[in-house]
Structures are given as C-alpha cells and as structure tokens.
Amino acid sequence: MKFSLKRKTVLLIVTVVVLISVISILISRRAVTEMIRKEYSTRATDLAGTIAVSVDTEKVRFVRDAVLSVYGKTDNKVSNDSWGTPEFEEYAARFQDIENTDVFRSLQEHLRKIQDANHVDCVYLIYSDAELGHSVYLVDAAYEFNCGPGTFDLFYDEDYRIIEHPEEGFLPMITNTEEYGWHLATAMPIYEAQEIVAYAGVDIDMNEIMGLRDYYIYTLCAAMILGAVLVSLVGIILVQRFIIQPVKVLTEASREYNHDHNREERHLFSNLQIHTGDEIESLASSMMKMEQEINAYIDDLMTTTKELVSSHQREIELDQIANIDSLTRVKNRRAYETKLERMNQDGTKQMGAALIDLNGLKRINDEYGHDRGDIAIQTLCRIVCTQFKHSPVYRIGGDEFAVILEGADLENVEALARQFREQIHMNEENDKLKPWEKGSAAFGYAIYDPAVDTDIYSVIKRADKEMYTEKRKMKETP
C-alpha cells in the first residue's frame, strides 16, 4: 500500500505527539503512584511507631501470653482465609474469654482512640509466629470485620524477612485484592526491656486515595489529548502550507509535463509561483531551468527516439525470424553455426559442447501423430534448458539439440550430465506420463582439450560421437 507525502507526514506528527503524550502519562502515573506510596508508607510507619511506644507493654504481654497459651494448645488452627466457616467460628470461640478481660478492653479502647484520631482503616497488635508463617492477632481496634484474638493471617512472601530482621518489623506493603481493593499495611516492634513483645500494626485503606490519583491521571490524559490534537492540527497546517502544497504543485506540473507529448515547447514549471524560501523553492528553480533546456532539444530527441525504437524493433523481429526456432523458441541451427564460426575465429579455448538426441520421435509421430511428436520435442527442450540454464541451447535438427557449455555449466558439466540422465530416467519410469511426455534421449558432451582438439568443431565431433555411443547402448538395452 502506497502512502502520499501528506499522509506520511500526518501519521508521523500524530505518532510522535501520541507517543510523547503516552510516555508522559505513564511517567506521571508512575511518579504519582510512587509519591503516594512513599507518603503513606511513611505515615503508616510513623503511626505504628507511635503506637508501639504508647501502649502499656505489661498489658500487651498479658494479652499476648493469654492468646499464645490457647494458640499453642490448639492443633487445628484455622486462618482468616476461612472467615465465616463453622471451623473458623469454632476456632475463634476458643479465645472469647480473653476479649472479656479488662486488660484486653483497655488496650482496644486505647488503640481505637489512636485509630479515630488519625482516620486510618484500623490499628492492631499482632504476634509473629515465624515458624508457622502466621501473623497472630492480639488486639484489633477495627469496628467492622474485627479480627479476634488468636485469629491469624498467613505471611506474604515479603513477611518472611522478619525472621532475620525482627527489629525492622513488617515493612510497608501495598496490596490490591478483590475483597479489600488497595490496602497498605505495616507493623513496628513493641519493646519491653530490649525484648520484642509484639508488633503494632496499621492498615490504611488506599481505595479513595488511588481513586483520587486516577482522577488526576484522567484529567491529565484529557489535557494531554487536547494538547496533542491542537499540536497535531498546527503541525499539519504548517506542513500543508509550506511542504505538501508546494510539492503537490510541482508533482502536478511534472505529471502534466510528462503527459503532454504534442506541444513543441512547454512552460509548465516556468509559470509556477513557489516562494517557500527553502529547498523546495530551489527544486522548483532547477526544474524551471531544466524545462528551458529541454525545450531546445525536445523535438530532435523525440524524432531520434522514434527512429531508434523502430530500428530496434525491426532488428529484434529479424533476429527472431532468422535465429529462433519457432517450435521450441530456442535458437536454431543458423544461430548455432554462426556461434561456432565466431568462436572458431576468436580462438575460444575455454568451452565445451553437449549434444542431445531425442529417442523414438518417428515412432511417436507414426503412432500418435506429429502434434504429439512436437510435444515430445518441446518436453525434451524444457529439460535441457532447465539443466543447462547458464548456456545457450540450440535446436540443430528435427530431434537433436546442442548446448555450448559456458560459465558454471562448463565447470559443473559432469554433475549436470549426471542430473540430466537421472531426469531422463525418472521420466521413462514415470507411468503417469504419456509416451510423448517422457522425453527419452541420448546425451554426450566433450570439453576442449588442446592435446586432441584443433578447433571448436573437433569438440563437437567428440561430443557427437559420445552421444551416438550412448544412443547405440540404449537401443541394445532391452
């Protein structure tokens, strides 16, 4: 499919503008997302650290020991992934007495005050069972979907680093799930006398924040699309004014110039008014000068061209009549003899010759008709031309062909002769072919040898002798 210069230019402008806009949007989205992640990760970490130093560690230890006492004695532990199932309810009920203690309620009330004051999703205290990969809840300040003491979440892959670095706590991690959407969670260690008692965790619901991010991104997209459209329109208008239109004028003048064969003088380019002040104006000036020069010689050139064309066509016609075999369209015996005479006069030494004789042409003519005999001759000619594609092929008799071996054919004549015989044999064995399509033939070749050859004709004689030797053997073979 061909595209005009205008279409190419428009596509280029639009592609570049769209590409820049898309890249800008992607970079902006990534930058805004990273900024939000850092901002809220820092906020959650700071709040978790504040909770860790503000809670009563004795109360935390009391609740932790009570929870772990029941947790450790329970063989069938059920994670929060099974929330709402009878098994989960039965497991959570084992810790119900702990929720009714004053210490637990005091810690929960303290956490809820912090949670409400900071407008976060929830804050909680957990214990890390690194061996089983469980984050065991001790106290959860959430009002809805409250995780009771002893319930637990399974570690994410990132959480296992707490085994080697417990002092760093649970690093901030943003997840996006179907149940909760965007969610940021982190937890910091609670120390008592250099010992980590538990971890203070903070969850921040990021759905509204991410929604606000998407709103700004969409607004930016709309602004960039509008800007891209405006920039593209301005670019297209400028290109149309200073490039496309002048080039179009030159093109139309050139096309009309080429199609106008009847006028002696033409002034199409001289009449153009192109003033772009750039290479296009220079091109127009050059074409005007060219037109002026051509006008002086165009009549003589056209006359000479007509004479040359007529002479060449006549030469081709005469050559075809004199040197081309009408049946096979290869060169005829006259061309063959001319070739040999020229080679003999030039003293050509690097050459060879192959002679091929069709078998059974008389039988084919007698049994199937001369039109089938012509097909047999044409079939053999195709095989010869296919095998010796780098050398001239001649029909030198009714059923005989000659090849003047040249170039690659001369260098590889032995292999080509073998391939030719194999092809002839395959055709003879092919039951699907008609008798006149098999192309059975005898083949012989010779290469110029200064020890035995005096001229080109002696090479032909040796090739002819080898061909008739093979033909005699083929007749003797039943």
CATH number, residue 107: 3.30.450.20
**For residue 420, what are its two tokens?**
């030719």
Q: What is the pLDDT of residues 405-463, one digit of tens each?
A: 999 999 999 999 999 999 999 998 898 999 998 878 999 999 999 999 989 999 999 99
pLDDT at 305 over 70: no
- The phi and psi torsions of 270 (rounded to 5 degrees) equal -65, -25
Task: Kindly indicate the confidence band of residue 1, based on its pLDDT and cuts at 50, 70 and 90.
Answer: low
| pLDDT in the model for residue 257 | 64
* Number of domains present in the structure of the chain: 3
Range 287-316 burial, b when 16+ CB lie within 10 A, else e: bbeebeeeeeebeeeeeeeeeeeeeeeeee
Q: Are residues 75 and 158 located together in one domain of the fold? A: yes
Q: Which residues contact 118 (CB under 8 A, 6 or more apart)?
A: 47
| Residue 247 resides in a domain | no
Shared domain check, 178 and 54: yes
d(CA 135, CA 185): 12
Q: What is the pLDDT of residue 262?
A: 55
- Residue 268's pLDDT band, with cuts at 50, 70 and 90, is low
Flag whether 421 is in a domain. Answer: yes
- pLDDT value at 328 more than 90: yes
Residues 61 and 203 in one domain: yes
Q: What is the pLDDT of residue 477?
A: 72
- In a domain, residue 317? The reply is yes
Is residue 304 a part of any domain in this protein?
yes
Query: Do both 172 and 23 map to the same domain?
Result: yes
Instruction: Assess whether 142 and 191 both reside in one domain.
Output: yes
- 357 vs 159, more confident: 357
Instruction: Order the strands of the 122-129 sheet from edge to edge.
Output: 152-154, 134-140, 122-129, 195-205, 181-192, 170-177
Q: Write down the pLDDT at residue 284.
A: 67
The DSSP output letter for 389 is: T
Q: Is 230 inside a domain boundary?
A: no
Instruction: Work out the pLDDT band at 472, boundaries 50, 70, 90.
Output: very high
Q: Which residues have CB under 8 Å from 170's CB, separation 6+?
A: 128, 135, 159, 162, 185, 186, 187, 199, 201
10 Å CB burial of residue 178 (0-12, 13-18, 19+) is exposed
Structure confidence by residue, pLDDT tens digits, 200-245: 999 998 887 777 777 778 887 788 788 878 887 887 887 777 777 7
What does the pLDDT read at residue 306? 73
Domain match, 428 and 284 both: no
> What was the pLDDT predicted at 302?
63
**Average predicted confidence (pLDDT) for the chain:** 86
| Gyration radius (Cα) of the chain, Å | 48
Q: Is 404 helix (H, G, I), strand (E, B) or coil?
A: strand
Which of 323, 341, 374 corresponds to the end of one domain?
323
CA separation for the pair 377, 37 (Å, rounded): 86
Statement to judge: residues 397 and 337 lie in one domain? yes
The enclosing domain of 426 has a CATH number of 3.30.70.270
Residue 402, domain member (yes or no):
yes
Distance set, CA 15 to CA 28, 226, 243, 321, 324 (Å): 20, 15, 19, 60, 58
Q: Is residue 186, in this structure, part of any structural domain at all?
A: yes
Q: How far is CA 377 from CA 73, 257, 357, in A?
A: 103, 51, 10
Do residue 20 and residue 89 come from a single domain?
yes
Looking at the structure, do residues 9 and 113 belong to the same domain, yes or no? Answer: yes
| Judgement on whether residues 133 and 96 belong to the same structural domain of the protein | yes
Mean per-residue pLDDT, 185-202: 92
Instruction: Give pTM, 2 decimals.
Output: 0.46
Average pLDDT over residues 367-394: 95
CB burial class (10 A; 0-12, 13-18, 19+) of residue 326? exposed
pLDDT of residue 266: 63
Residues 393 and 414 in one domain: yes
Tell me whether residue 245 is in a domain.
no
Q: How far is CA 116 from CA 111, 143, 200, 271, 286, in A?
A: 9, 11, 16, 84, 82
Domain span holding position 382: 333-476
Beta strands at 441-447 and 134-140: parallel, antiparallel or unpaired:
unpaired
Same-domain check for residues 286 and 384: no
